[in-house]
Structure 1
Amino acid sequence: MGAIEIELDPLPCRWCQKLIKQPRWWRPKRHCSRWHRVKSRLTEALASVLELL
């Protein structure tokens, strides 16, 4: 029996819009690096705090 091969289109990074190759179909990568993921989460947290004010 052969393995199921699923081809996924590369998605852009949420921070820099660089295309990211998707190694797995069940959990797509959204950021190209750990630092971009941290920056994105910090800005989301700051935006939610400012929204409360």
Structure 2
Amino acid sequence: MRSIQIEVDPLECRFCRRPLEQRRWWAPKRFCNGWHRLKYRVCQVVAFVLD
């Protein structure tokens, strides 16, 4: 039996726009690392509060 090959388009990090390697198609990576995830969430909260 052969395994199924699924091609996933590379997404970019939501914080720094660096292209990310996607290893799984069912849960794509959105951030380079945990710090970028935290910074993105803090920026979202600050923008929400300022609005």
Q: What TM bracket, shorter-length normalisation? A: 0.7 to 0.9
- State the TM-score, normalizing by the size of structure 1: 0.84
Gaps of 5+ in 1: none
Q: Distance between the aligned counterparts of 1:35 and 1:3, measured in 2? A: 35
Gaps of 5+ in 2: none
Is 1:45 matched with 2:45?
yes
Query: For residue 4 of structure 1, what is the aligned residue in structure 2?
Result: 4
Query: Identity percentage over the alignment?
Result: 51
Q: Displaced runs of 4+ in structure 1, greater than 3 A?
A: none
Which is richer in strand? Answer: 1
Number of residue pairs the alignment of both structures matches:
51
